[in-house]
Amino acid sequence: MSGHESTYKPETGFTKWLDSRLPIIRLAHDSFVDFPTPKNLNYWYTFGGILSVCLAIQIITGVVLAMHYTADINQAFGSVERIMRDVPFGWLIRNIHMVGASMFFLAVYVHMFRGLYYGSYKAPREVLWLLGCVIYLLMMATAFLGYMLPWGQMSLHGANVIINLFGAIPLVGESIQSWLMGGPSVGNQTLQRFFSLHYLLPFMIAGVVILHIWALHVPGNNNPTGVEVQDVKKDTVPFHPYYTVKDGFAIVVFLIIFAVFVFYAPNVLGHADNYVEANPLVTPAHIVPEWYLLPFYAILRAITFNIGPMDAKLLGVIAMFGSIAVLFLLPWLDTSKVKSMRYRPVAKQFFMVFVVVCLLLGWCGASNPDNAIISMGEDKLVVNYTDAAGLEGTRVFEEYTPAAQFRDEQQTSGGVASIAIEKAPAFTFKILSQILTAYYFAFFLIILPFLGLRERPKGEPDSIHQSILGHDAPAAAPAE
């Protein structure tokens, strides 16, 4: 915390010598040992620590995998299979890396929803939040680049779809697209640059993480009450041992869940299609991104209409990128003076709905947009026919057998007939994802800006210390 005086006292000759030249032990001491931390942080606040562990795991396993991987379209798939079969413990290290990507996103989403709920993006932590958004963007880019490397069917066609998004940009879209691919299609040159960037970006993430922690340590942690620290003595405890132990415990629990996936279900979060080597001539029947990008994919596909000169493709891309861009604006969109939604009874409800909306968007992203969620009526069979006399007509059937019988009768008597399915009107995933997309944007652009002006906050405590007394001992002795 800024203004917090350093309590580090070098004791040996060497540490004194070092401290006057490079006070690195002092920095570590003041940042992670004697850093005053609000004493009311709950387990939602352990995800920052969990995320640093995730990043370290991904970098270490990734460096190892790069020792065995070959970035060449003729050898990439085989080299990954070699890692799985021949490299000692290659299967384990690749499974950790693969599951690690999912666990990383799981943790980052909890971390982001935490920040959203407790208002951690508000003054004086706007820059902290923005840096977090940058990390999130870099994570998505890294995950996308990494998904291409095994050169399976999903790798190739997923990359193709994402790069095609850039083609929607007016005027320069196609040029950008072929610049990204380094040619007319996703090919060897694309794989090589993706590998290079996939190796680079995690180190950029690590760099921004350092800035993120720096920006955290200037104002200090937010906390579940959203009330700033007023009295360091009463409101805070030192980071070590209180939060090293609490974070450590959370990390252990998280790693147990992680290990369950690695050892029992390493492929459950992926797609079987990616174990088929890439074939540029055949796109898999059902192409979807990894689960952590599904909500954005749903937003992309929700826009199926043109507005003025802008076609649906461009609007979809704008909506998708806008759904991330809006996060960067959040500190200035939320007008409420109260940080924590614990004391914002109305905002809290809208927030809960928002969480559900995000999950449902994920469900929509995984589903075929034309599939029915609620069907209104039955699908019907329509036989279109031209009879022997040359007269055209249609007849509608409920069951297949009579429909087929009628078609065969027409055909044997010299006519032409065919059966088609007429879908019953239904509430489809497309409609649901349009409603959810509307709520997603409304939450940030309408609800948070206006609610902050109208809502009456309730029960905000005067201090962190007081909020804890209120919890445990309602009849506590008068303070001091």
Among residues 66 and 110, whose Cβ is nearest to other proteins? Answer: 66
Total site size for other proteins, rule CB under 8 A: 25
Residues 274, 303: Cα–Cα separation, whole Å: 28
Indicate the residue among 90 and 284 with the shorter CB distance to other proteins.
90
Q: Is 70 in the site for other proteins (CB under 8 A)?
A: no
Closer residue to other proteins in complex, CB, 83/168: 83
| Chain position carrying tokens 């991104």 | 289
| Shorter beta-carbon distance to other proteins: residue 78 or 345 | 78
Q: In angstroms, give the least distance from the CB of 89 to other proteins.
A: 3
Phi-psi bin for 381: left (phi > 0), alpha (psi -120 to 50), beta? beta
Instruction: Match 């652009």 to its residue by tokens.
Output: 445
Kindly state the smallest distance separating residue 71's Cβ from other proteins, in Å: 18
Selection from 267, 92, 96, 72 nearest residue 150 by Cα: 72
263 scored as a contact of other proteins (CB under 8 A): no
Site track for other proteins across 74-113, x = CB under 8 A: --------x--xxxxxx-xx--------------------
Closest CB to other proteins among residues 233, 456: 233
**Which CB atom, from 458 or from 471, has the smaller least distance to other proteins?**
471
Q: Which of residues 444-473 bind other proteins (CB under 8 A)?
A: 465
Q: How many CB atoms lie within 10 A of CB 415?
A: 18
Question: Please, what's the b/e burial string for 436-475 (b: 16 or more CB within 10 A of its CB; e: otherwise)?
Answer: bbebbeebbeebbeebbeebebeebbebbbbbbeeeeeee
474 interacts with other proteins by CB under 8 A = no
Please state, in angstroms and rounded to a whole number, the distance separating the CA atoms of residues 370 and 429.
Answer: 6
CB 35 within 8 A of CB 217: yes
CB atoms within 10 A of CB 157: 20
Choose between 256 and 376: whose C-beta lies nearer to other proteins.
Answer: 256
**Contact code string over 221-250 relative to other proteins, x by CB under 8 A:** -----------xxx-xxx---x--------
Per DSSP, 473 falls in state -
Q: Is 36 in the site for other proteins (CB under 8 A)?
A: yes
Distance CA 395, CA 232 (A): 81
Q: What is the DSSP string of 72-110?
A: STTTHHHHHHHHHHTSTTHHHHHHHHHHHHHHHHHHHHH
At closest approach, how far in Å is the CB of 306 from other proteins?
A: 53
For the bound state, the minimum distance from the C-beta of residue 336 to other proteins, rounded and expressed in Å, comes to: 30
Q: One symbol per residue from 5 to 24: x for binding other proteins (CB under 8 A), - otherwise; what is it?
A: --x-----------------
Pick the closer one to other proteins by CB: 15 or 244: 244
Q: How far is residue 184's CA from residue 116's CA, in Å, rounded to a whole number?
A: 42
Contact criterion met (CB below 8 Å) for 396 and 422: yes
Task: Please give the Cα distance from 422 to 150 (Å, whole number).
Answer: 41
Out of 8, 31, 34, 311, the only residue in the binding site for other proteins (CB under 8 A) is 34
475 scored as a contact of other proteins (CB under 8 A): no
Burial class (CB in 10 A: 0-12, 13-18, 19+), 11: exposed
- Minimal distance in Å, beta carbon 246 to other proteins? 14
Q: How far is the CB of 78 from other proteins (least distance, A)?
A: 10
CB of 53 to other proteins, least distance (A): 12
Question: Would you say 111 or 465 has its CB closer to other proteins?
Answer: 465
Query: Contact residues for other proteins (CB under 8 A)?
Result: 7, 34, 36, 39, 60, 64, 67-68, 82, 85-90, 92-93, 232-234, 236-238, 242, 465
